[in-house]
Amino acid sequence: MRAVLLRAPGAPGELELGRAPAPSLVPDSLEIEIKAFALNRADLLQRRGAYPPPAGAPDILGLECAGVVRALGAGVTGVEIGSPVMALLAGGGYAERTVVPAEHVLPIPPGLSFVQAAAIPEAFLTASEACFTLGALGAGQVVLLHAAASGVGSAALQLAKLAGARVIACAGSAEKLEFVRQLGADVVLNHKLEDFAAVVREHTAGRGADVILDFIGGSYAERHQTCLAEAGRWVVIGLLGGARANLDLGAVLRRRWQLLGLVMRSRSPGDKAQIVQRFRERFWPELASGRLQPCIDRVYPWTAVREAHERMERNENIGKIVLEVV
């Protein structure tokens, strides 16, 4: 089969379209003929050699895809060959075909294209877990959302507003601020020009945010400790600002904070099946009704994968970058 191959760890120029062995169908799995896949920052890390795939996962990049069911493994029920589906992957999305556990697959809602569907699994499932399973975000509560114009950020913003929360959204340009404002953010701020912690305190009468969705890590940690409400939940999703931080454990005790880490790729198959099921029960109908929408930045043919990686590396994308298999 054709696939995007990584010649050696490094820059986007190391990616090239080539041929790879087709995956083998195993029990309780299904084979998908991939029509489109989306980029994630984890792909950039893997390309650089900083994020190897978990044991048993394909070396081919790609954590989410959309396509058509091509074959069913033994024991798979409830899905038919030819059905349009989207899937959460541990790897292998940058290819013509992939094999994935059937429990990691969602049907594509009517009216959504393969391009739109490819932008959903990793972004919306991560956002849902961060906001609700870990963050326990509820109506009337305040969430501080970094990288609000990213794929996961734009999904989290929509989910939080749907749940009745107030969103303080950070982004780094006027265009991105307008984008998150249009998505429904209650307060928007440019993290390059404003102190997000001061803005949070101002807009919560000094109480702080109930939930922080943190894509940055170390470089923001001290400020997060000045704007997290009592009994607040600080959910670490990424480490763009480093992995080391000073933490005041006395404040953790006194203010009953929870510091929570979220990773998706290395979770067990059973964990991922539960994540998919939780999302399907609570939010799949909202996708089907159009109340939730994947936000697409640009669509490229997969022959332009280097250009797509370069765009994300420059942090220019607003929403998801999607590639079509052509």
CATH classification at residue 129: 3.40.50.720
Q: For position 209, what pLDDT does the model report?
A: 98
Same domain, 237 and 277: no
User: pLDDT truncated to tens, each residue of the chain (326 aa)?
Assistant: 999 999 999 999 999 999 999 999 999 999 999 999 999 999 999 999 999 999 989 999 999 999 999 999 999 999 999 999 999 999 999 999 999 999 999 999 999 999 999 999 999 999 999 999 999 999 999 999 999 999 999 999 999 999 999 999 999 999 999 999 999 999 999 999 999 999 999 999 999 999 999 999 999 999 999 999 999 999 999 999 999 999 999 999 999 999 999 999 999 999 999 999 999 999 999 999 999 999 999 999 999 999 999 999 999 999 999 999 99
Question: 323 and 305 in contact (C-beta within 8 Å)?
Answer: yes
Please check whether residues 319 and 296 belong to one and the same domain. Answer: yes
pLDDT at 198: 98
**Contact call for residues 94 and 81 (beta carbons, < 8 A):** no
With H, G, I as helix, E, B as strand and everything else as coil, classify residue 288: helix
Q: Among 261, 279, 307, give the residue marking a domain's end.
A: 261
Strand-pair partners of 243: none
* Domain boundary, last residue among 208, 226, 261: 261
Number of domains in the chain: 2
Say how far apart CA 285 and CA 249 lie, in whole Å: 41
Domain holding 225, by residue range, is: 124-261
134 and 251, same domain (yes or no): yes
Distances (CA, A) of 181 to 2, 37, 159, 170: 40, 27, 15, 10
Quick one: 56 and 128 in the same domain? no
- Residues 113, 13 within the same domain: yes
What's the CA gap between 59 and 119, in Å, rounded? Answer: 21
Kindly report the CATH number assigned to the domain that includes residue 19.
Answer: 3.90.180.10
The reported pLDDT for the residue numbered 154 is: 98
Same domain, residue pair 202 and 228: yes
Do 42 and 155 share a domain, yes or no? no
Neighbours of 41 (CB within 10 A): 18
pLDDT of residue 160: 98
